[in-house]
Structure 1
Amino acid sequence: MARRKKTSPLEDVLDLLAMLPWWACVMLAAVSYFLLHPLAAPIQASDIQGQGGAMVGAMMQKAVIHGLATAGQHIVPLLCLAAAALSAWRRKQRQSLLTEVAQARNTDALDGMSWREFELLVGESYRQQGYCVAEIGGDGPDGGVDLVLAKGGEKFFVQCKQWKAYKVGVTTVRELYGVMAAKGATGGFVVTSGRFTEDAKEFAQGRNIELIDGPRLFAMIQRARQTQGPSTSEHRESAITTGFPQVQAKASVTEPTANSQATTRPDCPRCGAAMEQRTARQGANAGNAFWGCSTYPKCRGTRATG
């Protein structure tokens, strides 16, 4: 998809701050003002100690600090408040996009979106599933990764493709798989408003990569909107400020076992559905128990038992 144009350092800082929740930006504005305001106080002669060259050097240092603090005590809080407004607007935009698509009758609602809107929509749909989401834009050094998801201490990469004119090919999927291996991600998702080629589907088989085409994305958004409230987004978003901590899992489902003990059923790390305990029938782990997604073969997410 198309990428953003080059921006100034000020715009980069504003965009970085806007990744935080709006209330965090407001707090940063207040803290920055109270920290810089004392440094912006006028310089008094009694503040300078020493003689000769030492006094001149101290005065110059004080003057530089005073000048920077005087400007910074206004510029930095204003920048943080602007980021707060941008963060609040993006959150509202994400929720509006999700609501609009969820209420639509078919996948035509995905058509006509810009790449940025599509990326926001995909990110919000994963937030509603309980993931912490960082939007990195895909124009960095991470091989086209647009979103980084975190849930239960595990990291997932997402590549978004707002393509309707042609199918997403195997090159895109292979590229994401390479980044996953290099960065130690648990899994990955390639999300498109269109379709995937057969080569792409074949490559994803047996690998922890999930391909989500337009119809499946549309269904995922509808489920997410039905099962989660709008307030969930802000709660999940706040976790970004602490560097993707572990997210408390949804209420666990228990079921009795043969010996009448309760077994906790974890959530699938790929789609969030409940998992079922199974036994491997072949391969190196034949005979061993593991957790498999209850929606298999639609989703092939697995977890180790114990």
Structure 2
Amino acid sequence: MELREKQGWPKALMGLAARLPWWLGLALAGLAYLGLHHLAQKPLGTAQAGPMGGFILSSLMYGLALAGQYLLPLFFGMGALLSAFRRNRAARLHAAAASRPDALDRMSWQEFEILVGEYFRRQGYGVTDNGGGGADGGVDVVLQSDDGSHLVQCKHWRSLRVGVQPVRELYGVMAAHGATGGFVVTSGEFTEDAHRFAGGLALTLINGATLLRGIRAQAGSGPSATEPAGLSTPDCPACGAEMVLRQARSGANAGKQFWGCSRFAQDRCRGTREVD
């Protein structure tokens, strides 16, 4: 599923490296330089050494390697720096939201989208920033998991409640792109019409209070975002870490809550327990 507009190859390479861990981007830069530098050091043959077509092709490959040995590592390196900057910024926003009740109100809409992406990343999703949605039906973040893709729309509205129209639009985009599920996340609240429309669909509405509870749970400073009052948090049977309450999105147990390991995002621990 392609939600982004086409872009030039330099920007595409930077974007690829920016979505990877920063160290992996630097590794790609090093490998690109070593490989292309090796090709650029090979002597270029003469026209008499073989057919003219082979000579032209060799000359073209030599020129590409000569320039690419510097350009590709540059683009990958810039993407790695951008990745490190984004992850650091996301971690700072997550820490601020976990410690300050008014953190969402102090954020810009761009920061809110970054925070929402980090929130889902710590749940184990692969996260791709969609660059503010644009013409993609308001999709701000694309999530990838074992059961498919999930689309996220962010609404940083301080005073107005999110109505049914944005929720209906996201559901239409989900159907058009074959997405498994979707989330609408707001710093405020939803109207009753929005809740009624999302009921029974593969759509989850997350208001500001729920988002903050989930972030505090991820930071280890509060209960789970969906944890009922009085429900004790168990330890993971696989690694012993604290567990968080999650909800199955598909399969025979769709909609059912279960305990999942809080270290799934970091260590890919798949320890689970049933909700008592």
- 2:227 equivalent in structure 1: none
- The superposition leaves residues 135-169 of structure 1 with CA deviations (integer Å, 9 ceiling, x where unpaired) of 22343664222222233434322111122242222
Partner of 2:95: 99
Report the CA distance between 1:207 and its aligned residue: 1.7
Amino acid paired to 1:293: Q
Query: What residue number does 2:162 align with?
Result: 168
Q: Are 2:29 and 1:29 aligned?
A: yes
Give the partner amino acid of 1:292. Answer: K
CA contact (8 A) 2:33 2:72 kept: yes
Provide the C-alpha distance between the structure 2 equivalents of 1:292 and 1:179, rounded to a whole number of angstroms. 25
- Alpha carbons of 1:37 and 1:93: their partners in 2 closer, same or farther (altered >3 Å)? same
The separation in 2 between residues aligned to 1:176 and 1:13, in whole angstroms, is 29
Change (3 A) 1:49 1:194: same
Distance 1:290 1:139, change over 3 A: closer
The CA distance in 1 between the partners of 2:48 and 2:88, in whole Å, is: 52
Match of 2:186 in 1: 192
Give the aligned residue type for 2:215: I
Cα-to-partner distance string for 1:83-115 (whole Å, 9 max, x where unaligned)? 1111111111111110011011x2x21123222
Could you say which residue in structure 1 is the equivalent of 2:73? 77
TM-score (norm 2): 0.73
Q: Which has the higher contact order (CA 8 A, sep 6+)?
A: 1
Shift in alpha-carbon separation, 1:165–1:289, aligned structure 2, 3 A: closer
Deviation at 1:117, TM superposition (A): 1.4
Counterpart contact for 1:136–1:148, Cα < 8 Å: yes
Of 194-203 and 73-82, the range deviating more from structure 2? 194-203
Aligned-partner Cα distance in 2 for 1:290–1:121: 26
SS in 2 for 1:219: helix
Aligned to 1:143: 137
- The answer as to whether partners of 2:119 and 2:215 remain within 8 angstroms in 1 is yes
Would you say 1:87 and 2:83 are equivalent positions?
yes
Please point out which of 174, 196, 219 is paired with 1:225.
219
Give CA deviations for 1:180-223 in whole Å, capped at 9, x if unaligned.
22333332110011222232122112222111111221111111
8 Å Cα contact 2:29-2:77 kept in structure 1: yes
Q: Equivalent residues in 2 for 1:37-56 (5 A)? A: 37-41=37-41, 43-45=43-45, 49-50=49-50, 54-55=51-52
Instruction: Name structure 1 gaps, 5 residues minimum.
Output: 1-5, 229-249, 254-265, 271-287, 296-306
> Does the CA contact (< 8 Å) of 1:168 and 1:195 recur in 2?
yes
Deviation at 1:43, TM superposition (A): 4.0
Going from structure 1 to structure 2, the CA distance change for 1:291 and 1:59 (only over 3 Å counts) comes to closer
SS at 1:148 equivalent = strand
In the alignment, is the contact (CA less than 8 A) between 2:248 and 2:258 conserved in 1? no
Name the amino acid aligned to 1:269.
Answer: A
Describe the shift of the 1:110–1:289 C-alpha distance in structure 2 as closer, same or farther (beyond 3 A): closer
User: 1:212-261 deviations in whole A, cap 9, x for unaligned?
Assistant: 11122111111111189xxxxxxxxxxxxxxxxxxxxx9469xxxxxxxx
Paired residue secondary structure (2:30): helix
* Equivalent pairs, count: 235
The alignment yields a C-alpha RMSD, in angstroms, of 3.2
SS at match of 2:183: strand
Percent identity, aligned pairs only? 45
CA offset at residue 70 of structure 1?
0.9
Find out whether 1:292 has 2:256 as its counterpart: yes
Q: Which residue of 1 aligns with 2:248?
A: 269
Q: Which amino acid letter does the alignment assign opposite residue 207 of structure 1?
A: L
Q: CA deviation at 1:178?
A: 1.6
- For the Cα contact (< 8 Å) 2:90–2:115, is it kept in 1? yes
